[in-house]
Every structure is written in structure tokens, then in C-alpha cells.
Structure 1
């Protein structure tokens, strides 16, 4: 299946936190969008790899994704090397997206910046015909997306692009809440198996910060809620009236 947008995320829930409003907006416009998670988030303080697998499936249904896969890289210890790049390239060539969205270029979590470099390098290498990859026994054709953007996560980074997600903020929050072992959920009080040590993201206040960030991003463009992205290259438009 060819996708219009492919989101590369090092942990299940990164895409939901960073760009799920943008995902929802483009799916509503008829675009095909998928997510490839690099790891199962097995080093997370709360929950397990298995619970994250199910939560990722639950969130995919909420978002209406056309595809979601997990490369099962080693959480915390994956590298931006040839072996990992070839796996990411295989996904890029499989889905042939026009646009790729990747992790923040830097963040408080070291996996995020490292995954950003892995995604960026893989996007370039994927366009080289002499880099050979095989999927299901078939040699893949070179493919390079025309645009690579990086969503902003926990650390504030000045955006180069801002997307109005106002109509989708509630569904964005619901997609994040699908990861109920990671974030605050009333279910934790009813099912002790879901509980675990308190973390930065498990407090009720964390969702307030997600909404506050969306408000902060929206203010410069006159939107109630928005998501921000950075670009390593200069961006151009054909029509000034497309800008706001």
C-alpha cells in the first residue's frame, strides 16, 4: 500500500503525542497515513512491551490509520548504523510516502534525537538505487520522500511549520489516552495490574501540558490548537495565499 504520509516514531505513543492532530487532519482530507514504531517501548517504567503492543493497536483504530508496524529495535540501545538504517529504508520503500514525519531533532529523551537522525539518514539513503533492500523476497525500488519534517515533542523547539489541529484536539487526546499504562487513567484505580511507579507522564497534569503546548503552537497562526514541525531544509510554496 502506498501512503501519503508515513510517521516514524521511536516509541509507541511518540506519534500520538507529537503529531496525531496532523495525522487526523490529513486522514479527514482523504490522505493515507501510517506509523512505523521503531521499538516496543519495553524500557518504559510502566506497562510492558505486550501492553504497549495492544495500546498501539487501540490508538491506531482511534486515529483511523491505514497501517501500523513495529520494527522491534532494542529500546534505549538501537543505533543509527547500517543494520538499523536498512530496516527503516525497507519501510520507506514499502510504503513510498510523499511525506515523512519523524521524531524531534533533540529532546529530553535521548532516544528521540537519535531516532531523528536515523530517520533523516534513512530518508536520504532510501533514494540511492545502489542501496539494496528486499521485502517479502522481492527487491525494492529506490524511493525518497519529497519532504521530511520532525514533530516537536517535550523540549520546546521553534517550529518552521505549524498545522492547525483545532477540530481534532479531543481525538488527539483520546489517542494518547489509549496508552493507559503510560498516562493517567481512571482505570489504574480499578485494575492494580495496570498500576506502577509514578512517572513524569503519568500525572493528571501531564495532559494539561499537552493541551497547553497545542495552545502555544496555535497562537502565532491564530488557531486554538496546533502542532509544530521543524525542517532541515528551506521550504517553498507556489501561492502566498496558502500561508497564514
Structure 2
């Protein structure tokens, strides 16, 4: 299955929290979008790997993505080494995305920056003919390199190089976030799990405030920010806000 966009997240819910409005927006434009999670989020304080799996499936239905896979790397202990790169390279070659959305280059959670570097290296090596990976049937995969990687902004503020207007899809985006019922505060669904920085009502306010801040920069209500390591080009200046 060839995808237009592949969103990568080291934890189930990373994509929902940081770039799900962008995912929905492009699906509504007829683009094929998929998600690949690196880990099951098994080290999370709240919930379990099993509940996160069910929640990610529910969120995927809300988003309308073509496919979602989990590479089942070890949460917290995965490395940017050959074995992990080959796992991701195989996924990149399987889906052949034109664009990759990846974790923040630097963030409060150390997994995020490490996952970003893994994504960068895997995207490059995926285009090398002499790096060999096999598909599910044991056939050698053809090389493939995405045209661009955009790193979504997560907990720590980073000045965005690109902001996507997600205003028309804000409610749907937040429904996908709230599908992760064990992770976030949802009124009427209080539980006895330990409190975390992301399980309070204030965190939901933070998500909206960040989106409003990015949106204001381009003259819209809600925006999602991305950082690019390479220049962003266009053939039409009038398509830019």
C-alpha cells in the first residue's frame, strides 16, 4: 500500500497529540495517510500496553487513516542502531510515503528526540540500494526515500518552520486525542490511576493554547507547527499563508 504521508510516533498518542489535525486535513484532501508507532507505550504511568492498543485503534478510526502498525520496539530502551533502523526502513519501503511526519527533534521526553534521529537516519538509509530489507513474503524490498521529513512540535516549544491550518478539523482532532481514555483527563471519566503531567484538565487547555498560538501566527484559529531540517520550497507563492 503506497501512502502519501506516513506519521511516525514513538508512543501511541504522539501523532494524535501533535499532528492529528494535519493528518485529518490531508485525508480530507484525498491523500492516503498511515501511522507507524515505534513502541506500545508500555512504560507509561497510566494504562497498559493492551489499553493503549485498543485506544490507538479507536483513535485511528476517528482519524480515518488507511493503516496503523506498531513496530513493538522497547519503550524507553530502543536505540538508533542498525537493528532498529532496519525495522523502520522496512516499514518505509512498504508504504513508500512521499512525506514523513516524525517526533520532535528535542523534547522533555528523551524518547522523542531519539525517535526523531532514528526517523532521520532510517529515511536516508531506506534510499540506499545496498541496504537490504525483506517484505512479509521474504522478497527483497526496493529502496525508497521520502521527499521530506517534518518534525512536529510536542511538549517543549520550538519555533515552527511550517504551520498547518487545522481549524476546520479541531473537534475531530480532539476526539482522536480523547480516545486515549487512560492517558488524559476526560470529564465524567475520572479514575483512580496516578496523576501525571498530561492527565490534568490543564493539559487539555495547554493543547488548545498551543494550537491557538500557532494559528494566530498565520491568521487562523488553530494551527499545528512543524520543524524542518532542510529548506521548504514551493512552486507557487500564493499557496502560502
TM band (smaller chain): over 0.9
Match of 1:163? 164
Match of 1:203? 200
Answer yes or no: is 1:212 the counterpart of 2:213: no
CA RMSD of aligned residues (A): 0.8
Per the alignment, in what secondary structure is the counterpart of residue 108 of structure 2? Answer: coil
Matches within 5 A, 1:23-42: 23-42=23-42
Per-residue deviation, residues 125-148 of structure 1 (Å, max 9, x unmatched): 000010000011111000000011
Whole-angstrom distance in 2 between the partners of 1:181 and 1:2: 32
Match of 1:46? 46
Whole-angstrom distance in 2 between the partners of 1:243 and 1:31: 19
Per-residue deviation, residues 177-203 of structure 1 (Å, max 9, x unmatched): 0000000124543xx5xx310110001
Matches within 5 A, 1:50-61: 50-61=50-61
Matches within 5 A, 1:1-244: 1-136=1-136, 137-186=138-187, 188-189=189-190, 192=191, 195-244=192-241
Query: With structure 1 as the length reference, what TM-score do the two structures score?
Result: 0.97
Query: With structure 2 as the length reference, what TM-score do the two structures score?
Result: 0.98
Give unpaired runs (5+ residues) of structure 1: none
Give the C-alpha shift of residue 243 in structure 1.
Answer: 1.4
User: 4+ residue stretches of structure 1 with deviation over 3 A?
Assistant: 186-189
Give the C-alpha shift of residue 220 in structure 1.
Answer: 1.2
Per-residue deviation, residues 109-166 of structure 1 (Å, max 9, x unmatched): 0000000000010000000010000011111000000011100001000000110000
Whole-angstrom distance in 2 between the partners of 1:58 and 1:88: 24
